[in-house]
Amino acid sequence: MSDTARLYQYKALFESRRLVTRQDLQALGEVSLATFKRDIAKLRDQLGMPVQFDRDRGAYFLDRSDIRTELPGLWFSPEELVALLTIQRLIEQLQPGLVGLKLKPLQKKLTDLLKAKGFGEPEIASRVRMSFAGKRQLELKAFQAVALATIARKRIAISHFNRQNGESIQRTVSPQQMVHYRDNWYLDGWCHLRNGVRSFSIDVIEDVQMLQEPALEVEPAELQRITQSSYGIFAGQPTAWATLRFSAQRARWVEGEMWHPEQLSSYEQDGSYLLKFPYSDDRELLGDILRHGADVQVLEPAALRTKVQKTLLEAASRYL
């Protein structure tokens, strides 16, 4: 019997019983004590199966509280599975550009790793669907140039299209970090035109040229304060706190969502859910509020409440 076949038999036995003795496993695999110990180590270390030993009852068991996604020949936690598939998909999206070619060996190693565990990557792709709703098509040329300048710590001259007013603006930017947010890529950088940190959607950078001047460096703590202290991708320093009330029914979904690291939440007597968090730019926030429709109400601030009300009234008027 091959090692792989034997491990699969162990796996089936563990799943059919709450407790399995060493003698049962040795008899099943027809192996010596030394081989049995190596097999148990493989189950734990290579396949990631949560095999535990109960000393009081002298038997092995699967730790059912270890919440993991089981795949034939491999065990993943939900986070590990998402991370692996995300890496695979990101590498695919970067092909056939320079960055994609650089990462192709990594993609092959990941595929080979899965195959070595008896599970091919194509099978994962057919069994796990990853949806990229809202993902915009990325201009690979801009992505490569921005990525190289960010790593090389060089300034870039860009032509950036502003979706809000439909104009293209020439800027010189010192790239600080690239951000993958809601399946789209952004660049956080020091804008020399506006003399401050700004976030740029990379897919609307129409032209980019790496300059010889070194990038102006923003202290990591300061960059984090500017880019992560408020809600959403358009962060900046908070200018207000939003207070939202969700219906009792919608609370079942929203209570588990992280809108901001500093958010505050509580339940009211009728089961409705209050959520408070800081924000500076309401463009993204407005869209996230509206997607909840009649199940959310803006309590504060008044300016945000008025803007949501106006948007809803304008939307309703189109259906009269």
Task: Tell me the two tokens of residue 106.
Answer: 């990594």
Fold assignment, 140-218: SH3 type barrels. (2.30.30)
Which pLDDT score, from 0 to 100, does residue 77 have? 59
Query: What is the distance between the terminal CA atoms of the chain, rounded to a whole angstrom?
Result: 73
Which pLDDT score, from 0 to 100, does residue 231 have? 75
Which pLDDT score, from 0 to 100, does residue 246 have? 96
- Helices and strands counted in the chain (H then E): 11, 13
Which pLDDT score, from 0 to 100, does residue 299 have? 97
Architecture of domain 240-317: 2-Layer Sandwich (3.30)
> Distance between alpha carbon 98 and the CA centroid of its chain, in Å?
24
Task: Tell me the two tokens of residue 260.
Answer: 């901001």
Which pLDDT score, from 0 to 100, does residue 79 have? 59
For residue 106, CA distances in Å to 84, 88, 102, 112, 286 come to 11, 9, 8, 10, 39
Local structure of 74: helix, strand or coil = strand
Task: Tell me the two tokens of residue 24.
Answer: 């049962």
What residues have CB less than 8 Å from 219, skipping those under 6 apart? none
- For the chain, the structural domain boundaries read 3-66, 74-127, 140-218, 240-317
Which pLDDT score, from 0 to 100, does residue 98 have? 45
Is the CB of residue 36 less than 8 Å from the CB of residue 10? no
Is the CB of residue 50 less than 8 Å from the CB of residue 90? no
Say which DSSP state 20 is in.
B
- CATH assignment, 3-66: 1.10.10
Is the CB of residue 288 less than 8 Å from the CB of residue 295? no
228-261 pLDDT, tens digit per residue, is 777 777 666 788 999 999 999 999 899 988 888 8
Is the CB of residue 60 less than 8 Å from the CB of residue 47? no
Distance between CA atoms of residues 13 and 168, nearest Å: 65
Which pLDDT score, from 0 to 100, does residue 68 have? 56
Which pLDDT score, from 0 to 100, does residue 300 have? 95
pTM of this structure: 0.56
Phi first, then psi, for residue 139 (nearest 5°) are -75, 105
Helix axes 33-45, 22-29, angle to 10 degrees: 100
Distance between CA atoms of residues 245 and 255, nearest Å: 11
Q: Scan for tokens 């992280």, then name that residue.
A: 258
- Kind of pairing between the strands at 240-246 and 296-300: antiparallel
Phi first, then psi, for residue 128 (nearest 5°) are -125, 120
Instruction: Answer yes or no: same fold for 3-66 and 240-317.
Output: no
Nearest Cα residue to 237 out of 248, 245, 246, 226: 226
For residue 89, CA distances in Å to 6, 94, 103 come to 33, 9, 12
In the chain, which stretches have pLDDT less than 50? 69, 71-72, 95-96, 98
Helix axes 78-94, 98-116, angle to 10 degrees: 140
